[in-house]
Amino acid sequence: MQSFPVSDTLKRLPEQFFAKLVKKVQALSSEGHDVINLGQGNPDLPTPNHIVEELKTAADNPVYHKYSPFTGHAFLKEAVATFYKREYDVDIYPESEVAILFGAKTGLVEISQCLLNAGDTALLPDPGYPDYMSGIAMANANSVFMPLLEKNNFLPNYQQLNQADLEAAKLLFLNYPNNPTAGVANKEFFDETIEVAKQNEICVVHDFAYGAIGFDGKKPQSFMQSAGAKDIGVEMYTLSKTYNMAGWRVGFAVGNTSVIKSLNLIQDHLYVSLFGAVQQAAEKALLGDQTAVDELVATYESRRNVFVEKLQEIGWNVQAPRGTFFAWLPVPEGYTSEEFADLLLEKAHVVVAPGNGFGEAGEGFVRAGLLADEDRLAEAAARIGKLGIF
């Protein structure tokens, strides 16, 4: 059979670092080992029932069996605006300032194709969510990494970036609460970002995937809450984490009208919008009872407390994450991130993600997801403790 070579665009795509890890985990599980997998970012709890029920009812509506409007149903865009007003006291105009997305991942990849030409520069966090790079690579643009260091609370330091890179950059990706470092941003940081972006005419893309998940009573700050945010950028939100809807593929971008228009334009050519019944269920999620969200955040917080306490008990000096469902854990001396993750996998059957998989500055850390119940998290800590490393 003929084997057709892939295009140059596909050749540029970065290697999927974590595919190797997934294979190792599968091999151990298929040998019958009890593996505790904290290596991935897939929410473990179900979608709240009232959202699932809404989908079931909506699936019967023949209107939704036809093509959806290309840019999504007006009712969902209006729900997004109501959600932003309720949660962040931010005014969003549904028709011109909302783009409906097949999950945030789609928008985060598309945006590079919307705004970057070959040879252009994009700034992105290191460590960071790998898909920013995929879009930049497809656009044949250059990635310039902004190190997220512990001493800077895992925020980029704009003063320490190369001035020429800032001047060249067209796009800047940020993500707070942050995957993988669990760092959080405050309003001052976003205000400073807007200033830097305006000076250098850079479009800011704030990935707010973990927007709902803040601990110790602190609600994560939206980029849109800073004055001028809409002039210079967009925020991408997903229902995947807030409502445990990762499999449903629904998210949205809000903000700058020209960027929203470009996202809608590229989507016009790639898709017809989401299944109408999914849009109706998404409206229900955003506007319906939010008790499940509060309960979810409380669940993650209580898992965090157990996990951090148990890790500290075994002598591992870890910081408690302030948001997201990840813990960013320092690797003990004498190991690389990958060696340490391999050791935990092979000797304790506990899976964590090596930090270098998220970028060079992730070396020296591993990421553990709080995506198992408290007993399993305690068990993972106990197994690590038995290795006698700390």
Ligand X SMILES: Cc1ncc(COP(=O)(O)O)c(C=O)c1O
Residue 22 binds ligand X (CB under 6 A): no
- Residue 47 and residue 4: Cα distance in Å, rounded? 41
Q: Give the footprint of ligand X on residues 249-308 (CB under 6 A).
A: 251
Report the residue number, 220 or 378, with the smaller CB distance to ligand X. 220
Report the residue number, 105 or 230, with the smaller CB distance to ligand X. 105
CB of 240 to ligand X, least distance (A): 3
Strands 233-238, 251-255: parallel, antiparallel or unpaired by DSSP? Answer: antiparallel
Residue 179 binds ligand X (CB under 6 A): yes
Sole binder of ligand X in the list 47, 240, 244, 262 (CB under 6 A):
240
Sole binder of ligand X in the list 59, 168, 246, 343 (CB under 6 A):
246
Residue 238 binds ligand X (CB under 6 A): yes
User: How many Cα atoms occupy the beta-carbon half-sphere of 326 within 13 Å?
Assistant: 28
Sole binder of ligand X in the list 37, 71, 121, 175 (CB under 6 A):
175
Residue 52 binds ligand X (CB under 6 A): no
Binding residues with ligand X: total (CB under 6 A):
13
Residue 181 binds ligand X (CB under 6 A): no
Report the residue number, 209 or 377, with the smaller CB distance to ligand X. 209
- Residue 84 and residue 260: Cα distance in Å, rounded? 16
- Residue 309 and residue 281: Cα distance in Å, rounded? 38
Sole binder of ligand X in the list 64, 129, 328, 358 (CB under 6 A):
129
- Residue 246 and residue 209: Cα distance in Å, rounded? 11
Report the residue number, 238 or 280, with the smaller CB distance to ligand X. 238
Residue 182: closest CA among 157, 218, 158? 218
Residue 372 binds ligand X (CB under 6 A): no
Residue 207 binds ligand X (CB under 6 A): yes
Report the residue number, 134 or 238, with the smaller CB distance to ligand X. 238
* Residue 263 three-state SS: helix
Helix (H) or strand (E) holding 174: strand 169-175
- Residue 210 and residue 43: Cα distance in Å, rounded? 12
- Residue 387 and residue 254: Cα distance in Å, rounded? 47
The answer for 315, left when phi > 0, alpha when psi is -120 to 50, beta otherwise, is left
Q: Which alpha helices (H) appear in 201-273, and where do they start and end?
A: 229-232, 239-242, 257-270
Report the residue number, 41 or 359, with the smaller CB distance to ligand X. 41
Which one of 67-75, 98-106, 227-235, 376-384 is the stretch in contact with ligand X (CB under 6 A)?
A: 98-106
Structure tokens at 325: 């469902």
Residue 144 binds ligand X (CB under 6 A): no
- Residue 113 and residue 388: Cα distance in Å, rounded? 49
- Residue 376 and residue 217: Cα distance in Å, rounded? 25
Sole binder of ligand X in the list 104, 169, 282, 380 (CB under 6 A):
104
What mask of x and - would describe binding to ligand X in positions 209 to 228, judged by CB under 6 A? x-------------------
Is residue 278 within 8 Å of residue 55, measured between CB atoms?
Answer: yes
Report the residue number, 326 or 340, with the smaller CB distance to ligand X. 326
Residue 103 binds ligand X (CB under 6 A): yes
Residues forming the site for ligand X (CB under 6 A): 41, 103-105, 129, 175, 179, 207, 209, 238, 240, 246, 251
